[in-house]
Amino acid sequence: MLAHGQTCALCSWGPCGGVPRVDVEDVRDYLEARGYRGADPSFDGRRVSVKVRLRREDKVFLEQALRVPVVGQGRAPRPS
């Protein structure tokens, strides 16, 4: 459903699950607190893109919290 920007209407309870809204400033604040600089997050309506490579635990956390795929690129900072 997310891939097509639609809601689910498979059962009598629907339609459910509109496309989530993402506040990129919240994503930026989280990444800065975790030690990422210059991440410059953006949301295109279907996924969050960042200009840095994310550590696995940060990518998983963001995807679970935001309910959208998170795509990173570049080098991940070393854990401190």
Domain boundaries along the sequence of the chain? 2-71
DSSP state of 8: B
Q: What confidence score (pLDDT) does residue 12 get?
A: 66
Q: What confidence score (pLDDT) does residue 2 get?
A: 56
Residues 44/49/50/55 CA torsion (nearest 10 deg): 150
Q: Global pTM?
A: 0.72
pLDDT classification of 71: cutoffs 50, 70, 90 = very high
Q: What is the pLDDT of residues 9-66, one digit of tens each?
A: 667 665 676 666 889 999 999 999 999 999 999 998 889 999 999 999 999 999 989 8
Q: What confidence score (pLDDT) does residue 59 get?
A: 96
Q: How far is CA 21 from the centre of its chain?
A: 10
